[in-house]
Amino acid sequence: MFNQDSTFMTILNKAADMVILSVLWCVCSLPLLTIGASSSALYHTAVKVIRQGRGYAFSTFLTSFRQNLKQTIPLTLLLAAFYAALGAGIYLLWPQTESMFANIYIIFSLLCILVLLTAQLHLFPLIGRLRLNRRELITVLTRLVFGHLGKNILLICLLACAVEAGIYYPPLLFIVPAGFSLLGSFLQEPMFHRHINYED
């Protein structure tokens, strides 16, 4: 039963890797500015180490985190600025819902937030997995966001469940981040392969 190649030990090792990755993601996301880099590293490591069984969780995560830090910080700031602007508009116009303009703006802003969230869910995994230039990244993101409605809805539902689990039962934070990336990868990897030719 305790043979390193046994099913039991494989499951145990993968569970331990998920805990390590979740803790690393939480710690590395604490400055908030680095949440993009930590999310990229989390997805990359979940696919490479947990799914494919290559490398070690701790070192793979930290290497990916360092490699993607410079690219992801400006993107994280840009996303935060968009969310803040849209959120501020909704907050200011919410008391004026008797106005048609206010209602239209609120609906438009909510749709924009949904599109941004969907793009974000793909953006950091793409950065973690692949080396794309700006044009390629924008092209692929556009196709992923608008070309896979069903899978994107499932991905957002999965995120909502993960957030709810982490909020209402904080000890689950020891496994939820890695669990979300791992489950999400089963939706996202086929999507990525459809639009990009790459080898693992």
pLDDT class of 10 with cuts at 50, 70, 90: confident
Tell whether the torsion through CA atoms of 36, 69, 188 and 80 is positive or negative.
Answer: positive
Helix or strand or coil: residue 95? helix
pLDDT higher at 2 or 85: 85
| Amino acid 200: pLDDT | 64
Is the pLDDT reported for residue 166 higher than 80? Answer: yes
pLDDT class of 4 with cuts at 50, 70, 90: low
Distance CA 62, CA 160 (A): 27
pLDDT in tens, 178-197: 999 999 999 999 999 999 87
Average pLDDT over residues 45-53: 95
pLDDT in tens, 95-152: 887 889 989 999 999 999 999 999 999 999 999 999 888 999 999 999 999 999 999 9
Is the pLDDT reported for residue 6 higher than 60? Answer: yes
Average pLDDT over residues 69-82: 96
pLDDT in tens, 20-36: 999 999 999 998 999 99
Average pLDDT over residues 64-86: 96
**Global pTM value:** 0.92
| Amino acid 2: pLDDT | 53
- What would the DSSP string read from start to end of 48-59? IIIIT--S-HHH
Q: SS3 sequence, the chain? A: CCCCCCHHHHHHHHHHHHHHHHHHHHHHCCCCCCHHHHHHHHHHHHHHHHHCCCCCHHHHHHHHHHHHHHHHHHHHHHHHHHHHHHHHHHHHHHHHCCCHHHHHHHHHHHHHHHHHHHHHHHHHHHHHHCCCCHHHHHHHHHHHHHHCHHHHHHHHHHHHHHHHHHHHCHHHHHCHHHHHHHHHHHHHHHHHHHHCCCCC
Distance between first and last Cα of the chain: 31
| Amino acid 44: pLDDT | 97
Is the pLDDT reported for residue 3 higher than 70? Answer: no
| Amino acid 176: pLDDT | 97
